[in-house]
Every structure is written in C-alpha cells, then in structure tokens.
Amino acid sequence: KAGVTQTPRYLIKTRGQQVTLSCSPISGHRSVSWYQQTPGQGLQFLFEYFSETQRNKGNFPGRFSGRQFSNSRSEMNVSTLELGDSALYLCASSLEAGGFETQYFGPGTRLLVL
Amino acid sequence: AQSVTQLDSQVPVFEEAPVELRCNYSSSVSVYLFWYVQYPNQGLQLLLKYLSGSTLVKGINGFEAEFNKSQTSFHLRKPSVHISDTAEYFCAVYGADTNAGKSTFGDGTTLTVKP
C-alpha cells in the first residue's frame, strides 16, 4: 500500500506570493492533518480535515487555509507569504477523524520564502 | 491545554551504549502519548504509542517507553544503540477527549550515536 505523498517536495517563493501544497493520503484514509515544522517553533498543528470538512484548527492566521476533496486528497494554501512561513510542511493521514493513534506522515514539502 | 517538554535537546552517545530520551507532559485531560523519529529530509515515523493498558510500551527498532502517570513522563529507552539510530526524536501528546482533537509535539531531541 502506497504511503502518504506530498507534492511538491521543495518550493521556493517570494514574499507576498501565495502557495498551494498537495497531500494524497494512504488509500482508505479519510482524515488528513497538516503540520508546520520550523527550527524555532518546532512542530505545530495547522488543521485537520475529514470528509471534506475542517474538523480542528491550530493557532495560525487566516492566511493559512486548506480543503479536502471527495477522494480525501487535501490541499493547503498560504496567501501573502512571509519570510517566517519558510518551513517543512508535513501532512499526515489516518483512517478516521481524530485518529491520531493511526496517523502516518508524508515526507513533507520544504517551502523557502525569499 | 496540554504541553510537552523534551528535557534534552541533544543527546550524544557511543554505539552499543544505552540511551534514555526524556519527555514530560502536562494536560487537563487524559492523553495518548507517542514517540516519533525523523531522519534527515524525511517525515515522521511512529516508534511507539501508549493508549491504555500496560505502562511499558515496546516499539520498533528495539525502542521502549514507560508511561508514568504520577510523574507525567513518557521516557524513551533503548538498551544498545546503533549508528543508524542517529536522528531527531519527538514526543507527542494527543488529548483523549474527543473534543481536544489536537496534538502537541515536543521540541525534539537530536540523538547522535558515535562510533
């Protein structure tokens, strides 16, 4: 069974631009969570989607948004990029909503904002 | 609210020596506890988890952890490390209350195994 895939793996943007990251969960998994990992703040929960609905949200500004499609694939969007948005963005999938105990992580998308 | 503190940011150890990576947590609700490993340029891989039952949990790659409710700790141990164990390790808690629904990670401990 294929694991969680994230595209692209690496991305370079400039301040003020927007970016969209994609995550394809493990087949059969219906929940997708997003995390931001930075050296200064560590791993922080962004949001969780289940059945195309946002189920939980972390403490991030409205510039960070996401959505989930009917096939459970998820996208994360960051608008008006800031230098501090440079990070590794990790996606994780699980079978059910809030299924943290069955969560599998993708390899991440490394975003660099110049 | 919940929080996780990994007490050591870096742990250097020689190959075949034992190692303990320390994790303390605080939470107002019952929690599930996890340890993850992250190799360079990769995502997180689950090492082990405590959901309920026996407080001693065994995971992959020879790692184990003990849940101590009175000390609110979940320390990770391995009796004999290998060079390949060099990586960053994260402790995480997840509120067992379904309304909590959020995970909190520690800042990570970098384990460096030297020959």
Q: Which residues pair with A76 in a beta bridge?
A: A21, A66
Q: Which residues pair with B92 in a beta bridge?
A: B34, B105
Longest dimension (CA), chain A: 38
Cβ contact, residue pair B108, A105, below 8 Å? no
Cβ contact, residue pair A106, B43, below 8 Å? yes
What whole-number distance in Å separates Cα of residue A66 and Cα of residue B44?
Answer: 21
Cβ contact, residue pair A42, B43, below 8 Å? no
pLDDT for B101 beyond 70: no
Each residue's pLDDT tens digit, A22-68: 999 999 999 999 999 998 888 898 999 999 999 888 889 999 999 99
Cβ count within 10 A of residue A86 = 16
Question: Does B82 reach chain A within 8 Å, measured CB to CB?
Answer: no
The predicted pLDDT at position B75 comes to: 98
pLDDT for B98 beyond 60: no
The predicted pLDDT at position B99 comes to: 47
Each residue's pLDDT tens digit, A72-97: 999 999 999 999 999 999 999 988 77
What whole-number distance in Å separates Cα of residue B33 and Cα of residue B40?
Answer: 23
Question: Does B102 reach chain A within 8 Å, measured CB to CB?
Answer: yes
What whole-number distance in Å separates Cα of residue B85 and Cα of residue B34?
Answer: 17
Each residue's pLDDT tens digit, B12-28: 999 999 999 999 998 87
